[in-house]
Amino acid sequence: ISDDSFWYKVRVIGPTNKSEVGGSAEHILHAFKCVVSSSDLPELQDELAEYLLVTVTPTSDFSIAGFWAAHKEQWPVLSAAALDLHALPGSSAHVERAFSHLTFLQRKE
């Protein structure tokens, strides 16, 4: 994945790998435009800048969804965007696999 790709920049919302991604809030901000309204972008930028300064040490039971749920009051816009982006499937393979296993489709006639 190239440094300029959407998914590379979205990796920053994974608390354990944000140091690998690096970059400033401005550098990463445009990756969130698909899940955040333009009126929330200034707040998102502030929250993202604050988040990038926080060090996260994962434990054996670490959960990305749990992390963002626990921080939804501290970073309301960023946590909502992070949870939305983590809900996006990386590929459609799972859906395609499910359809290929179907033996019966009811069609409207």
**pLDDT tens digits for range 56-102:** 887 888 888 888 889 999 999 888 888 877 776 666 666 677 667 66
**pTM to 2 decimal places:** 0.59
DSSP string over 11-59: GGGSTTTHHHH---HHHHHGGGTTTS-GGGHHHHHHHHHHHHT------
Say which residues have a Cβ less than 8 Å from residue 95's Cβ, sequence separation at least 6. 89
Cα Rg of the chain, angstroms: 17
Tell me what pLDDT residue 95 has. Answer: 66
Helix, strand or coil, per DSSP, at residue 69: helix
Domain ranges of the chain: 6-100
Specify the DSSP class assigned to residue 90: S
- pLDDT confidence band for 9 (50 / 70 / 90): low
